Amino acid sequence: MIVFDGVGKRFGDNVVLSDLDFTVAPGEHVTLIGPSGSGKTTILRLLMCLESVNAGTIRVAGRYLSHMEKGGTLVPADEKHSREVRKRIGMVFQQFNLFPNMTVRGNLIEAPTRVLGLSKDEANARAEELLDLVGLRERIDEHPSRLSGGQQQRVAIARALAMRPDVLLLDEVTSALDPELVAGVLALLRDIGETTDITILCVTHEMGFARDFSHRVMMFDGGQVIEDAPPERLFSEPEHPRTKEFLKAVLSRG
Amino acid sequence: MTQVWDWNYAFAILPSLLEGLGLTVLATVLGSVVAMILGLLLAVLRQGPPLLSVAVRGFVEFVRSTPLLVQIFFLYFVLPQFGIVLSALTVGVIALGVHYACYASEVYRAGIEAVPRGQWEAATALSLPRSRVWTGVVLPQAIPRVVPALGNYVISMFKEVPLLTAIGLLDVVGRAQQAGDTYFRYVEPYTIAGLLFLLLSYPASLLVRRLERRVGTI
């Protein structure tokens, strides 16, 4: 579903990712862990075309995301091409980023009507169904500012799902929440993971969640994957010394 | 020795002054419409491709660095040499409109830049077309915040309309000048003209201040 092939990314002199290869199978849940600045979030941002690669290629569902084929050679993707491929990818942000000038309904029907060409009725039906799923149906006509952080994040998850994505990117979605609101959002994500076949790529510091939600955990350090294993193995018998150090630091904190 | 203030004279010229005030208000309203729309356009274009952005910035700096009166004279006296003859009111609306559009564009720009990056990113993540990101997400958040600042520019534009007397527009000050030159009494016409400005500007500025409190300033 997702293929990173020799991907490099730097900001000025700061190399964030170097010669990175990995693949994610359809329906797989992969969690990216590692110290901050290790490039996890950059991977999600590359997939969302919020950044562009300096080297290598990214493919999603068999199509180039970072590049496009033109006259038999690969050239960097233009805006139109990346928008087309990106339609299949949804993202949930740490800061929710709901549109405050729209109601919850407006947030949920905006992209399905404008991008997928759904009718207002179809988009509304989809919005209501998703709000049932996230448990906020009765708040449909309110503005995001009237909701708590946890509720806003659940709406943001519904907004991403309204596009029926094949791939969902979760960027530290509970980091900005008050501790008592975290559990509700994680329960929702577990529910989505169990009832859909969406491929999920997740950056999180919630190790308990990473352990029972993911099929695979990738440990990042210095812009590279230093360990890639199923959660049971990575959390109980980490091989790489940096992984051991990192897990010790993170787990003792909680 | 004549009296300092002649009420009969004052009432006699009042209708003419009010008529002039109508023209002042008309020039302000039309000029504001041009300024608000063109200013927004300039602000949005400035966020566009680098070359366009530099061109827009150059234009804005040029207009802001030259006196409004020179711009008015240029439109009124120089353009006819190229076959473009415009009425004093048209010149006034264009000159005020463009001049204040450049100031307004800076205000809009501040409003646009105050919209958090995350809003752009969320819109991008949803694949919204660029035009819709502007009209559906960014501008509806940016514009309410800048309304008070724009209101202040409308008020100062209102007070600059009398510059147009220099090209013969009979606005309220033009009328006052006319009355003074006809009857050789200047106290009443200019006092009334000043009062009329105060009567409109002051409540308008109170309104702007109330708006400021409501939306917060940037």
Sort out which chain B residues have CB atoms less than 8 A from A50's CB and list them: 121, 124-125
Q: How many CB pairs under 8 A join A and B?
A: 59
Chain segment A109-142, per-residue pLDDT in tens: 999 999 999 999 999 999 999 999 999 999 999 9
Residues of A with CB under 8 A from a CB of B: 48-50, 79, 83, 86-87, 89-91, 93, 95, 97-102, 110-111, 114-115, 156, 159-160, 163
Could you tell me which chain B residue has the CA closest to the CA of A114? B128
Sign of CA dihedral A196, A201, A205, A207: positive
Rounded to two decimals, the pTM is 0.87
pLDDT for res A166: 94
pLDDT of A12 > 50? The answer is yes
Q: Please answer yes or no on whether B125 and A100 come within 8 Å at the CB atom.
A: no
pLDDT for res A228: 94
pLDDT for res B204: 95
Chain segment A128-185, per-residue pLDDT in tens: 999 999 999 999 999 999 999 999 999 999 999 999 999 999 999 999 999 889 999 9
Q: Please answer yes or no on whether A48 and B116 come within 8 Å at the CB atom.
A: no
**Whether the Cβ atoms of residue A101 and residue B137 lie closer than 8 Å to each other:** yes
Could you give the angle at which helices B187-215 and B139-160 cross, rounded to 10 degrees? Answer: 170
Could you tell me which chain B residue has the CA closest to the CA of A86? B127
pLDDT for res A223: 86
* From B118, B123, B137, residue closest to A95, measured CB to CB: B118
Sort out which chain B residues have CB atoms less than 8 A from A163's CB and list them: 126-127
Tell me the pLDDT band of A38, cut-offs 50, 70 and 90: confident
pLDDT of B60 > 50? The answer is yes
Chain segment B142-173, per-residue pLDDT in tens: 999 999 999 999 999 999 999 999 999 999 99
| Average pLDDT for A41-47 | 92
**Whether the Cβ atoms of residue A189 and residue A157 lie closer than 8 Å to each other:** yes
Q: Which residue has the tokens 């039309």?
A: B30
pLDDT for res B218: 45
Q: Please answer yes or no on whether A114 and B136 come within 8 Å at the CB atom.
A: yes
Tell me the pLDDT band of A39, cut-offs 50, 70 and 90: confident
Complex confidence, ipTM: 0.90
**Whether the Cβ atoms of residue A126 and residue A162 lie closer than 8 Å to each other:** yes
Q: Mutation target for A interface from B117, B119, B120, B126: give the one with most A CBs within 10 A.
A: B126
Chain segment A66-96, per-residue pLDDT in tens: 888 888 888 888 888 888 888 899 999 999 9
Residues 6+ apart with CB under 8 A from A55: A6, A7, A8, A9, A19
* From A95, A111, A159, residue closest to B127, measured CB to CB: A111
* From B122, B129, B132, residue closest to A93, measured CB to CB: B122
Chain segment A188-210, per-residue pLDDT in tens: 999 999 999 999 999 998 999 99
pLDDT of B14 > 50? The answer is yes
pLDDT of B12 > 60? The answer is yes
pLDDT for res A194: 92
Could you tell me which chain A residue has the CA closest to the CA of B130? A79
The least confident of A10-14, A195-199, B11-15 is A10-14
* From B122, B126, B136, residue closest to A163, measured CB to CB: B126
Q: Please answer yes or no on whether B124 and A163 come within 8 Å at the CB atom.
A: no
Q: What is the 3-state secondary structure (H, E, C) of chain A?
A: CEEEEEEEEEECCEEEEEEEEEEECCCCEEEEECCCCCCHHHHHHHHCCCCCCCEEEEEECCEECCEEEECCEEEECCHHHHHHHHCCEEEECCCCCCCCCCCHHHHHHHHHHHCCCCCHHHHHHHHHHHHHHHCCHHHCCCCHHHCCHHHHHHHHHHHHHCCCCCEEEEECCCCCCCHHHHHHHHHHHHHHHHHCCCEEEEECCCHHHHHHHCCEEEEEECCEEEEEECHHHHHHCCCCHHHHHHHHHHHHHC
Chain segment B169-211, per-residue pLDDT in tens: 999 999 999 999 999 999 999 999 999 999 999 999 999 999 8
> What are the backbone angles phi and psi of residue A23, rounded to the nearest 5°?
-130, 155
| Of A233, A188, A240, A226, residue with least CA distance to A209 | A188
Tell me the pLDDT band of A254, cut-offs 50, 70 and 90: low
Sort out which chain A residues have CB atoms less than 8 A from B119's CB and list them: 97, 99
